[in-house]
Structure 1
Amino acid sequence: MSIDINTAARVAKLARIKVEENALPELANEFNTILGFIEQLNEVDVDGVDPMTSVTPMRLTRREDVVTDGDQQNKILSNAPDAREGFFAVPKVVE
Structure 2
Amino acid sequence: MQIDEKLLNKLEKLSALKINEEKRQSVINELSEIVNFVDKLNTLDLSQNEVAISTLKGGTPLRTDDEKTSEVVENVLKNSPYHEGKFFSVPKIIE
Matched, 1:2 2:32: no
Residue identity opposite 1:35 in structure 2:
V
- Bigger Rg over Cα: 2
Compared with structure 1, are the counterparts of its residues 40 and 56 closer, same or farther at alpha carbon in structure 2 (3 Å cutoff)? Answer: farther
- Contact 1:2–1:32 at 8 Å: present in 2 too? yes
- Structure 1 runs (4+) deviating above 4 angstroms are none
When the two chains are superposed, the root-mean-square deviation of aligned CA atoms in Å is: 2.0
Aligned partners of 1:45 and 1:25: how far apart in 2?
33
For residues 6-52 of structure 1, give each alpha carbon's deviation from its aligned partner in whole angstroms, at most 9, with x where no partner exists: 31122022101121122111111111101110111011110121111
Partner of residue 11, structure 1: 11
Q: 1:58 & 1:25 partners in 2: Cα distance?
A: 49
Within a 5 Å distance, the mapping from 1:31-50 to structure 2 comes to 31-50=31-50
Query: What letter is aligned with 1:5?
Result: E
Give me the identity figure in percent. 25
Alignment: residue pair count: 61
Counterpart CA distance in 2 for 1:58 and 1:41 is: 28
Matched letter for residue 21 of structure 1: E
Question: Where do 5+ consecutive residues of structure 1 fail to align?
Answer: 62-95
Where does structure 2 lack aligned partners over 5 or more consecutive residues? 62-95
- For 1:52, the equivalent position in structure 2 comes to 52
State the TM-score, normalizing by the size of structure 1: 0.54
* 8 Å CA contact 1:9, 1:24 repeated in 2: no
CA spacing shift, 1:58–1:2, aligned 2, 3 Å: farther
